[in-house]
Structure 1
Amino acid sequence: MIPIFIGFLLLVIPGIIISIVFAIIFLYALPLMVVKNAGAIDSLKESFEMAKANPQDTIVLVVVAMVLNAIGSAIWIGTILTLPFTMLMIVLALPMVTSTISEMKKENVTEA
């Protein structure tokens, strides 16, 4: 939150860019904490690895979630409906991303 605050102090655009980058990097942190019962630091590290292993899927998921939440925030009741759907979408994307990471690890082991 400190880099985002500094970005907003400098100008609005750097704050928005920093918050989007953090959303992409740490997208899977909260679902990992719930699903895998991981700690905060471990889930942030694993979320970073997942985002690094699947950058295209993660960016598409963030853009879809942002558009969905922007549409929902146009009316008050829409936010109540879109935020749970967004979290469900991220949790459902988690197995796809973790399987890609495990496949990459298997490929690295077989190559070595």
Structure 2
Amino acid sequence: MSTEEQINDTVKKGFNLFKEQYVALIIGTVIAIVGMILIITIPPLIFGIYYMCTQIVKGEKVEISDVFKGFNYFFTSWGLFIVGFLAITVGLVLLVIPGLLLMVLFQYAIAVAILENQGAIDSLKRSYEIGKENFSFSLVLWILLTVIEAVGSLTRIGILITIPFSALCICIATHKLTAKTEETAKTEETAKTKKTAK
């Protein structure tokens, strides 16, 4: 499947899933934004939005209260945000481009932390690997979602739609790409086993 087809498939699926549970997603996003008045709650509430999205991708029905389940990842969320922020900031300060590249490569980290129950560092590493192996797709997806978020922020109220929609698209992509890398790893392992047997 080409990059264009992958992007179209991800966005289309994201739109369809959003339509199915838009009420819970929008109200959950409102609660998260209001709750972010306190700095300490920002990372876990962002995780809460992603938690809702990962459940939707799995085919589950979500409740508005699910946004608070991000607090189950309190330490992971803060660890991920601190390490990720520092790495990206250093990259931006040094040469700008490395920082932008890290934004692209780390975009799957939150979804990975939730889907695979990984810690902060492992989630960033896993996201980096996924992004590197699927770089063209990851770059186009990041640019597209950045533009969508920018448009949403211009209308202010639009972010209530663009934030959960973008999170949904990232969770869909993460779900597909993690499955793809696992399948590739199994294929390589099988090939090595056969080669050793010979």
Give the TM-score of the pair, scaled to structure 1.
0.80
Q: Unaligned 5+ residue runs, structure 1?
A: none
Amino acid at match of 1:91: C
Which has the higher Rg, Structure 1 or Structure 2?
A: 2
Is the 2:104–2:138 contact (alpha carbons within 8 Å) kept by the matching residues of 1?
yes
2:179 equivalent to 1:99: yes
> Relative to 1, partners in 2 of residues 1:106 and 1:87: Cα closer, same or farther, differing over 3 Å?
same
Higher relative contact order (CA 8 A, sep 6+): 2
How far has the Cα of 1:95 moved from its partner?
A: 2.1
2:106 equivalent to 1:26: yes
- Find the partner of 2:142 among 55, 62, 65: 62
Q: CA RMSD in A?
A: 2.1
> Relative to 1, partners in 2 of residues 1:8 and 1:60: Cα closer, same or farther, differing over 3 Å?
closer
Q: Unaligned 5+ residue runs, structure 2?
A: 1-84, 193-198
Give the TM-score of the pair, scaled to structure 2.
0.48
Is the 1:3–1:18 contact (alpha carbons within 8 Å) kept by the matching residues of 2?
no
Is the 1:32–1:38 contact (alpha carbons within 8 Å) kept by the matching residues of 2?
yes
How far has the Cα of 1:3 moved from its partner?
A: 5.1
User: How many pairs are equivalent?
Assistant: 108
